[in-house]
Chains A and B, each alone.
Chain A
Amino acid sequence: MSLVIKVGLASCGLAAGAGEVFAAIKTHIKKNKIDVEVKETACIGMCFAEPLVEISREDQKSIIYGEVTPENIGNIIDAFTKGKPVEENVIISNILKGSENKTYKKQKRIVLRNCGVIDPISIDDYLGNDGYTALEKSLKEMSRVDIISDIKNSGLRGRGGAGFPTGLKWLFAYNAQNDKKYIVCNADEGDPGAFMDRSVLEGDPHSVIEGMIIGAYAIGADEGYIYCRAEYPLAIKHLNIAIEQATEKGYLGNNIFGSDFNFELHIKEGAGAFVCGEETALMASIEGKRGMPTIRPPFPAQSGLWGKPTNINNVETFANIAWIILNGASEYAKYGTDKSKGTKVFALAGKIKNSGLIEVPMGMPLKEVIYGVGGGMKTEKPFKGVQLGGPSGGCLPSELLDTIVDYDSINKTGAIMGSGGMVVMDTSTCMVDIAKFFLNFTQNESCGKCTFCRVGTKRMLEILIKISDGDGKMEDLDTLEELAHNIIKGSLCGLGQTAPNPVLTTLKYYRDEYIAHIKDKKCPAGVCTSLLKYEVIEDKCIGCTVCAMKCPVNCISGERKQVHKIDQDACIKCGACYDACKFNAIKKG
C-alpha cells in the first residue's frame, strides 16, 4: 500500500509550526523506512486547525489531521500504516465515521479548486488538474471576441471590491486602439483582516497566471504586471517560480501554443501603502512614482500604465477565468443570484470557530456563512457583529444576518462586499473602538491629495478619541455624520469615498453604545481604558497582596489578610491587578 502525506506549508501553516512538522515527518519515515511519498501543498482553508497533515491511501481514502506537532506525528503515521488510525486530532476523513466533511459540502470551490490539493510549485501538478488547457482552448479554438463574450455571459464581476462586470471591462480594453496594451493583476490586498489573495497566490499561482494570459490575449496586451504587496514574501516566491516554469513550458514568451501571440509577465512588489490598491495609484506606483490616485476619466482602458490602454483585475477575478473558459459561461452562471453570479471566497477571522478560507455560492445568507460554514462563535461570548469590506465596509449586527451575500444586498446595509474579509466580533469588542480603529487606519493611509479625506478623517478620528475618552457630547454624533457625508462627496478616490463607512454603520446599528460612552461615561464592552474602573470585590479579596505588588504605580493599598483598595485617582487602568488576581476579586467595569 503506498501512502501520500501532504503537509500544508502556506504562511498560515508555517506560522503555526508546519515547517517543524514537515521536518519531523521526513526524519520519521527515513528512520523507520516507511514507504510514503511526502508532498508539500498550501492552504486548504482550515487555518484554525493548522498545522494540517493529510494522509491518503491509493484508494482515495484519507484523513486530515489538525494541530499536528512534531511530537505526535510519528504516532499518527505509524497507526495509519497499521490500519488503525489515531482518532484524535481528526479534522476531516472519509474513513472514520462521524468526521465526514459537512462544511465542505456547503461550499463550491472554483477559485480554490487547487488550493491545498496540489503542490503549488509543481507545474506538473497544475497541468495534471487541467492546467493551461483553458489557455490552449482560447488560443486554438476561440476568437478574442468569443472569450470576452464568454466572460461577459458568465456574469463574473470584479472581486477586488467594486464588483464591476469583468467582461465589459475587457471589452473596453479590447476596443481601445493602440499597438501597446498592458494587463495588470491587483494583488495588493490591503484590507487588514483579509487573506484570500494571499492564499490563492501561495496555493495556486498558475491559475492566476493562466487567467492573466487569457485576458491579455483577449484584449490584445503583450505585457503584464502582478502588483503584490511586500508583506507576502511566500506569495512572491511562488509567483516567481510559477512564471519561470510557465516560461520554460512556453505558456509565457513568444508564439504561445504556436500562435502569433506573445506575452511577457513581471512582478512588482508593493512598498507598503494601502492606497496603492486603488487602480490609478497602483499604476503610478508601478511607474515608480508616489502612489497617488488620479481622476477618472480617462479610465485605465483608455490611458493606463505609461499612458497605454490597461486592464486591471483582482487576483480572485483572474483565478476564475480558466474555469469559466473550460466549463462554460452558463455553468458558472448557474451559481449565485440574479446580479451576482458564481462564487465568492471569504476570509473568516476574528471570534469564529472555523477561521480560514471558504468559497460559497453567491446568495448564501450571512448567517449560513458564519454558523453553517464557519462553525459559529469560538468563544462563550455571544455574537455582536461581523465586519465586511474592511476599512471601506461596515459592521452588521445579528438582526442583519439574513442578508444574502451578493453585491447589491450587502450595499443596501451600508457595508460593502469588499474583497471578502469577514471579521466576526463578540461582545468583548467595543464598536466605538472599532470605528476608531478603522478611522485611524484610513487617516494614516490617506495619500493627502484631497482635503476632505486628509483633514476630514483626522477630525473624525479626534471626535472618536474624545468619545472613547469619555469627553464626548451628543452633538458630536451629528458632527460625525455631517463630516462623513462631506468626506464621501469631497474625495476623489474610493479610499475617501468609503472611509466613513465604518463610522456610519456603527452609528446606525450600535448607536446605544456611542450614547453609553457619552452619557453614562461607560464602555459596555470594557475596552476603552479611560472609561474603565477597576475595583476590589470586598467579599472575594483575601488580602494576598499580589495585586499591590503588581501595580506599577503603587495605587493599591491594604494590609496582608485585609481587604485591599484601589486609589481611583492614581490608577492608570493598566489591568495588571485584574490579570494578577487569582481569586477573581477585581472587577472591571
Chain B
Amino acid sequence: MKFKTEIDITINKFIGKKGILIPLLQNAQDIEGYLSKDLMSYVSEKTGIKLAHIYGVATFYTMFRLKPQGKHIIRVCKGTACHVSDANSIMKEVNKQLDLTNEEDTTKDGKFTVMSVACLGCCSLAPVIMVGDNTHGRLTPDSIGKILKKYE
C-alpha cells in the first residue's frame, strides 16, 4: 500500500456505519488505483469484515480492479446504440493507437487502461468513449488520435 495514512482516514470515516463495504472499497480504490491483496487484507483486519466476503464483492462488480491501472481510464461504450453505430471500429482504433491487443488492458507506460462498458448514457451521440470523467461523442476512427493526444 502506498497511501496508508489516507487509507486509514477513509476506513475510520466508515467504521460503525451500515452497508459500508462497497463505498469503502470504491474510496480505497480511488486512493490506491486498484485493490491489491494487501489492501483487501488490511481492510478486512481493520473492519472485521471477512476477507472472503471482501474478495467476493471485489470480484462481483466490474468497477473494482484487481490489477494496477493506467493514469487515464478509457471506457469504450459498447452499448446498443454504440454497437449499431460501429463501436467495434472505435475499439479497434483505440487499441491500435495504444498498441494494445486485448479488450481490456493497460499500456506499458502506464498511461492508459482501456475497457469496454455497456452504455455511458450519451447514446444520441454514439459512438461514445469516456476518458477519465470526460465523454467524447460522435466519434469516427479518425478522431481517436486527436482525443488521446489531449491526455498525454
Seen from chain A, the residues whose Cβ lies within 8 Å of a Cβ on chain B are 11-12, 14-16, 47-48, 50, 189-195, 198, 230-233, 268-274, 285-291, 306, 347-351, 355-356, 387, 390, 421, 423, 425, 428-429, 434, 437-438, 441, 447
Contact = CB atoms under 8 A, between A and B. Distances in A.
Given A192-B79, A272-B63, A16 B84 contact: no
Given A194-B119, A231-B117, A356-B124, A14 B84 contact: no
Nearest to B62: A272
A291 B56 CA distance: 10
Contact of A423 (B81, B117, B128, B135): B81
A454 to B, nearest CB: 14
A288 B80 contact: no
A202 B87 CA distance: 25
A11 B128 CA distance: 11
A193 B60 contact: no
A350 B20 contact: no
A355 B118 contact: no
Interface of B: 18-23, 25-26, 53, 56-57, 60-64, 75, 78-81, 83-85, 117-126, 128, 130, 133-138
The CB with the most chain A CB atoms within 10 A, among B21, B83, B119, is that of B119
A54 B57 CA distance: 46
Given A194-B123, A231-B119, A232-B121, 15 more contacts: A12-B125, A15-B128, A15-B136, A193-B81, A231-B130, A271-B64, A272-B63, A273-B60, A287-B19, A290-B56, A347-B123, A350-B80, A350-B81, A423-B123, A434-B84
A350 B84 contact: yes
A271 B61 contact: yes
A423 B126 CA distance: 11
Shortest Cβ-Cβ A-B pairs, 9 listed = A192-B79, A193-B80, A47-B124, A288-B21, A271-B61, A272-B62, A192-B119, A355-B124, A349-B81
A423 B62 contact: no
A11 B122 contact: yes
Nearest to A274: B118
A11 B135 contact: yes
A288 B57 contact: yes
Contact of B119 (A16, A191, A271, A285): A191
Nearest to A50: B125
B121 A291 contact: no
Contacts of B134: 14
Contacts of B79: 192-193
Given A15-B135, A421-B80, A195 B20 contact: no
A74 B122 CA distance: 27
Contacts of B61: 270-273, 291
B60 A290 contact: yes
A289 B57 contact: yes
Given A231-B121, A272-B62, A390-B80, A285 B137 contact: no
Contacts of B138: 16
Contact of B20 (A285, A288, A349): A288
B91 to A, nearest CB: 14
B104 to A, nearest CB: 12
Contacts of B81: 192-193, 349-350, 355, 423
A349 B62 contact: no
A268 B134 CA distance: 22
Nearest to A275: B60
A306 B18 contact: yes
A415 B134 CA distance: 34
B121 A198 contact: yes
Contacts of A270: 61, 63
30 contacts: A11-B135, A12-B124, A14-B135, A15-B136, A47-B122, A189-B121, A191-B119, A192-B78, A192-B118, A193-B80, A193-B81, A231-B75, A232-B121, A233-B133, A269-B23, A269-B26, A271-B62, A288-B19, A288-B21, A288-B22, A288-B57, A289-B53, A290-B56, A291-B60, A291-B61, A349-B81, A350-B126, A355-B81, A421-B123, A441-B118
